Structure 1
Amino acid sequence: MKLNQVLSIVNQVEKSKFISCLDRLCSDAAKNNKKLAKTIDNIDGQIKNASGSEITQLFNTVRDFFKESVKEQILMSSAQLNLLINLLSRDGNCVARISWIETLYAKEWKELSKLSKDLLTCIKQGSPESTFDRNKALKIYHACMNEAYFNDQKNNRDAKVTDDERSILNVLSNELELTTDECAAIEHLVDVIPENGVLDALNSLRDMGLVFISKKRQEVFVPDEIVTLLNELQGKDLADKYVLRILRTCTDAELSNALKAHGRKIRGISRAEKIQTIIHSGISASKLLSDDIHSPEDTQNQRKERLKQLITDLEIDTEKLGTTLDERIGLILNSLSGATEKEFDSLSASGFKQLLKTLEEHFPTMPAVLKEAFELEPTEIIDTEKLRSLSITPHDILYLLSNDEVKEVRDSIGLSKRGNPRFAILESFANATDKLIENYDALARRDVNALRDAGVEVLEADLGIKFEEVTKAILEVLELNIDEDLRKDLNTTKDKADIVISLSDNDIIIGEAKTCKNGDFAKYSTTSRQVKAYVTRAENQGKRVAQVLIIAPSFSEDFIESAEMDTEVNISLLEAHGLKLILDAYKSKRNPSFAPKLLTKGGLLKAELIAKNI
């Protein structure tokens, strides 16, 4: 979830710590940064009065200062905070209830303690004097960690690992080829992490401006921008879900190479276990790509050729492959780390829902697989809205399936066996949405026969939902901000708006998509009661409803007149074929520009004039 979205959910008190941190950093940075000083002046020098988008802009401007400040505070803090940061920055944990974070922490603590005991056994076993093996590497790192932590006590200071010492230990662990989880477990032997006190640790992270805690929801929010920053501080060059993609393309022999490089077992270990072990070990993606997956005898040219094939397998679109191994590694890392927005845009909301539904039909355990992979609460309802808030894309979901499972799905829906099966599946669902958009007017009029003739199979009971989803898809193409998180927040079991379009932090358009089988849509009294309830709820939560937009195949004269004469709410009416006309005009332009204000004129909108103004 983006920072701007989190700021719109939490109240002023709950975001005060973050704003205070930002205010202090801005004051320091503005002294030497004229551009930042001007930005602060534009909001009257009071960050607390700034909008969510302005706060996000300020954060991006002082990000480096923020990162350095957080780094210093973490170094002065306990090992417990580091364990919690590792937990909160993992895929799927950026939005979670406090009680679930406590459960995950307890599980993580037990696993770390078990690994610590195993490593202590290895350290005590020792190695022959003439050999250098994994046990000796663990013993050396343990001795250095012990010295780095306790040497402060010799000078009558509190025991801690300083920034300089941490840097040296990082180099040492890299040279000894120890994994991140092994280093954390050894540190746990030296500086024992408390088993309890998670809420106090969360409050400490909130005071640093790293998390937001909603008391009403009892939820913790870590914005995407903060997750990226925390990964950088931990030396994590790629999120686990992207490392998984790389490992899915590797052969069994390459996975074994990676495990052998770090002294892990390979005999009797399944492919799935190999992948999970590598991911959980915290091996950096760059090291996997440069060394670990290759055989020791492979030349630089052979390694470069393997990465060239990997770029093709992952369908990374690039003009240049790079001439060196490091350039190709950088290309892969940069492409994957910045893929989220592009991947969400590649599939409409409707297409995403249909993909998830299809996968659940083929694999009834799919919700359980998602919950386990992304550490989601067992009682969590898995839908596309929840997945979007966690930044889990359609691509991420398909990569949770094994290569064989993905091929099963591809074959069962009758797709070509050529090319990458995951991308073939994604393309098929993108095409399905395009077909519905092309037949948007027939969908609005619930014309099942016309849809069937066009090759679109939709159950009559699903027509209303499909019309709502395709309407959102069209509005997304027009680059309107369809705010699913806000819609979910505003909706109740009784009042459920179809569409919420965010114009700014506080201004919104509420939309309703209505199908009608015979004649014009004429139910004004029922519809007006609905939309007025939505408007009231939105205004009670501090939002200003700039307009209500009703989309239907056509409207009766009485409906149009009633909407124009309504003094309680501002209502715009748009016919389905008119919205399709606007979309076609938008797509035909080289540099199209669609202003949301075109939808706020009131009354029956003239689609032809809007199309000309794009």
Structure 2
Amino acid sequence: MKLERILDKLSSIEKNSFIKIIDNIISKSKAKSKEIEKILAPDNKGLKTVDNLNISKIFDLTADEFTEYLKCEFQEVNSQLDILIDIIIRDGNCIMRQDWFSRLYEAEIKVLNAKIKALSAEFKDEKSELSAERKRDYRIYQACLSTAFFNDVANNREAKITSDELSIIITLSRELGLSQEEIKLINYSILGVKKLDVQEVITHLKNIGVIFYSKKENTIFVADEMVRLLRKVRKKEVADKFYRRTLKLLREPIINTISKNHNLDRKLPYSQKIESIIHAGISFTDLLLDDIYKEGTTLTDKKKALNELCEKGLEIPNLRGSTLNEKIESLIQYFEAVEKDEKVGISVDGYDKLLTDLHQSIPTLNKAIKEHFELQDEFVLDAEFLLDYNIKPRDILDLIEKPDLDKFKKDHGVKLRGDDILNILEHYKDVENLYLENYENVGYRNYNQLKENGIQIRESELGVKFEELTKIIFKGLGFNVDDKFRQELNTQKDLMDILINLGNNEVIIVECKTSKESGYNKFSTVSRQLKSYQNIALKNNLRIVKILLVAPEFSDDFVTDCEMDVDMNLSLLTASTLLSIYEAFKNSKYMTFPHVLFRDVVINQERIVKALSK
């Protein structure tokens, strides 16, 4: 769930710890001060008075500083922060009731203690599958960590790992090629691990700004933006779902080699071995730099293999970068962009239909998804519910075994030739809803993002499509979009985009503008155009209730010029605001949108959404 939505659910007291940390970062950060001041400028009363959307924007601006702040928290060796973060960054754990979090935490401690015991036994067992080289790596790391921790005790000081010691230990672990799981096991074999009081754990995580806790709902929330930040802190470059998608393209002998190199059980079934690699926290970069190739593979062949993996397996053509490292970084950035994108590849309605049909063909799927994502609710195959957890259609399909996918395709008439998952997603694509979900991208003429989200359209058609979608939205708001009357009024020179007929000779004129630039800024051109439409309407004895200009965004100069214009009753409406109003209207008590709410120069989304919810 996005940070803004979580903040909307909470009281000011429940947000307080997070706000304090951001406030402290702002006071120390000079690099971002101008951008932050621009957001705070309208009120200039500090962060507590800023709306939740702008708090979210400020968090994005201060993400690097927040990351550094959390790295300092890791120096508190008894905080168990690594264990706790590993729980809350797993796919499906961003929303948890307190009792469920308590169970997950308790289970994690039990598993960790069992693994520490097993590792200690392997150290002593001469017949262990651990190679002599790997045992040596473990001992080197263990000895260095032990020295860093216990040298304080020897000097009659509190046992603590300083930031300098920590940076050396992190460098050592990287050079030894240790996974996060291996590091964690060795760390706690020295420090010891015991279960802490769960309420203390929640309070600690809340106080350092990592989670939010709603007393009213007795629920922990971890924002999507925070999950991405925490993964970076834990050196996990991609989400588990993207790691899984990549691993599933590898043959079993390669998976076995990776497992052997990191002391993982090779006797497990193929899918379980993949999960153990993911949970081990093996570096995604290291995996694609070395682990997936045969010994002795040349750099040229590695690049060729990676290109093939991306183009044929992941369906990502033209991976950027000339070196192997640059290509891997491009792939990580691609996965980050897919994760940040709120669009789901198919419409929400299409997602719900897909889940209904999957449940029909694979009755065990609900239980499998519930267990895999550690979800507390009994029935989880619901699109809105899963999207709150940032679980998209592709993430569900990636978990289904090939025989079950084949059965599902036959049951529901999905095309059999070609890529199974892409064929299924195409089959459940609801084009009109998919376009509406991408309304802002159409307005921005963001051709590449539209293509990525499964929309095939010529760039030259985007202006007309934006106008069509705006009509659909206004019709959805209950208005009479009167194309026949509009055509009667239009001349060869002056062509209105949309005319809303309110009856009794009253109309609303709507003009649509797409723009690739950041901020629509051509007021002089558009004002002449709108005044000519106004004159046509007045000549036909029509009362113009409102003129609306819809665009992806407006520059500050454009807004100022609009405010100074006294000849037109003009309001500016961004694409994102119009779409939010439409979504709020669908759940409101109104049959037709009360157009009197269109009274600002720049239409205020928050005010209108609040009015519709009453």
Give the TM-score normalised by the residue count of structure 1. 0.70
**Partner of 1:47 in structure 2?**
47
Q: C-alpha separation between the residues in 2 aligned to 1:134 and 1:597?
A: 59
Structure 1 residue aligned with 2:311: 312
2: distance between equivalents of 1:32 and 1:355? 44
Residue 235 of structure 1 aligns to a residue whose secondary structure is: coil
Structure 1, gaps ≥5 residues long: 438-469, 481-512, 514-546, 555-572, 576-581
- In structure 2, C-alpha distance between the alignment counterparts of 1:474 and 1:335, rounded to whole Å: 22
User: 1:241/1:597 Cα in 2 relative to 1: closer, same or farther (>3 Å)?
Assistant: closer
User: What residue in structure 1 maps to residue 538 of structure 2?
Assistant: none
Q: Judging changes above 3 Å, is the alpha-carbon distance between structure 1 residues 13 and 574 closer, same or farther for their aligned structure 2 residues?
A: farther
Preserved contact between residue 366 and residue 379 of structure 2 (Cα < 8 Å): no
CA gap 1:16/1:79 in 2 versus in 1, 3 angstroms:
closer
Question: CA offsets, 1:332-365, max 9 Å, x none?
Answer: 2111122135473421110110111121112111
Give the Cα separation in 1 of the matches to 2:265 and 2:593: 67
Q: Which residue does the alignment assign to 1:160? A: 160
- Equivalent residue of 1:338, what SS? helix
- CA offsets per residue over residues 261-282 of structure 1, 9 Å max, x none? 224343x432112212211211
The CA deviation string for residues 274-312 of structure 1, in whole angstroms up to 9 with x for no partner, is 212211211111111111121113222222122111112
Q: Which residue of 2 aligns with 1:295?
A: 294
Give the SS at the match of 1:391.
Answer: coil
TM-score (norm 2): 0.70
Q: Could you list the per-position Cα deviations for residues 487-510 of structure 1 after superposition, in whole angstroms to 9, with x for gaps in the alignment?
A: xxxxxxxxxxxxxxxxxxxxxxxx
Give runs of aligned pairs for residues 355-394 of structure 1, distance below 5 A: 355-377=354-376, 379=378, 381-394=380-393
Name the structure 1 match of 2:570. Answer: none
Query: Relative to 1, partners in 2 of residues 1:364 and 1:274: Cα closer, same or farther, differing over 3 Å?
Result: same
The Cα shift of 1:415 comes to: 3.3
1:404 and 1:317, CA in 2 relative to 1: closer, same or farther beyond 3 A?
same
Q: CA deviation at 1:171?
A: 3.0
| 2:413 corresponding residue in structure 1 | 414
Report the 3-state secondary structure (helix = DSSP H, G, I; strand = E; otherwise coil) of the residue aligned with 2:248. helix
Alpha carbons of 1:104 and 1:252: their partners in 2 closer, same or farther (altered >3 Å)?
A: same
Asked if the contact 2:307–2:319 (Cα under 8 Å) also holds between the matched residues in 1, the reply is: no
Distance 1:189 1:603, change over 3 A: closer
CA contact (8 A) 2:370 2:378 kept: no
Q: Following TM superposition, by how much is the alpha carbon of 1:227 offset from its aligned partner in structure 2, in angstroms? A: 0.8
Which residues of 2 match residues 277-292 of structure 1 at below 5 A? 277-292=276-291
Deviation (angstroms), 1:389: 0.8
Counterpart Cα distance in 1 of 2:422 and 2:16: 43
Task: Indicate conservation of the 8 Å contact 1:574/1:604, yes or no.
Answer: no
Q: Could you tell me whether the CA contact under 8 Å between 1:31 and 1:37 is conserved in 2?
A: no
Closer/same/farther in 2, CA of residues 393 and 321 from structure 1, 3 Å limit: same
8 Å CA contact 1:340–1:393 kept in 2: the answer is no
How far apart, in 1, do the equivalents of 2:593 and 2:57 lie?
A: 35
In the TM superposition, residue 605 of structure 1 has moved relative to its aligned partner by: 8.0
> In structure 2, what is the Cα distance between the partners aligned to 1:589 and 1:61?
25
> In structure 2, how many angstroms separate the alpha carbons of the residues matched to 1:424 and 1:475?
22
SS at match of 2:220: strand
CA RMSD between the two structures: 3.6
Match of 2:44, SS state, is coil
Q: Match of 2:351?
A: 352
Counterpart-to-counterpart distance in 2, 1:161 and 1:593: 54
Give the corresponding residue for 1:450: none
Report how far residue 587 of structure 1 moved.
Answer: 12
Instruction: For 2:3, give the aligned amino acid.
Output: L
**Equivalences, count:** 478
1:122-161 correspondence runs (5 A)? 122-125=122-125, 132-161=132-161
Distance 1:229 1:32, change over 3 A: closer
Q: What's the counterpart of residue 3 of structure 2? A: 3
Instruction: Write out aligned runs for 1:104-503 (5 A).
Output: 104-125=104-125, 132-266=132-266, 268-342=267-341, 344-377=343-376, 379=378, 381-430=380-429, 433-434=430-431, 437=432, 475-479=436-440
Change (3 A) 1:263 1:89: closer
- Determine the C-alpha separation between the residues in 2 that align with 1:167 and 1:127: 34
The answer for the alignment partner of 2:103 in structure 1 is: 103
Q: 2 CA distance for matches of 1:587 and 1:419?
A: 39
Counterpart position of 2:604: none
**Could you list the per-position Cα deviations for residues 386-425 of structure 1 after superposition, in whole angstroms to 9, with x for gaps in the alignment?**
1111111111111111344334433443333433211111
> Using a 3 Å threshold, how does the CA distance of structure 1 residues 382 and 412 change in structure 2: closer, same or farther?
closer
Give the match for residue 593 of structure 1. Answer: 551
What does residue 445 of structure 2 align with? Answer: none
Q: Go from structure 1 to structure 2 and tell me whether the alpha carbon gap of 1:18 and 1:412 turns closer, same or farther (over 3 Å shift).
A: same
1:115-172 CA-partner distances (Å, limit 9, x unpaired): 00011112234699xx833333323322222222111112222112223323322333
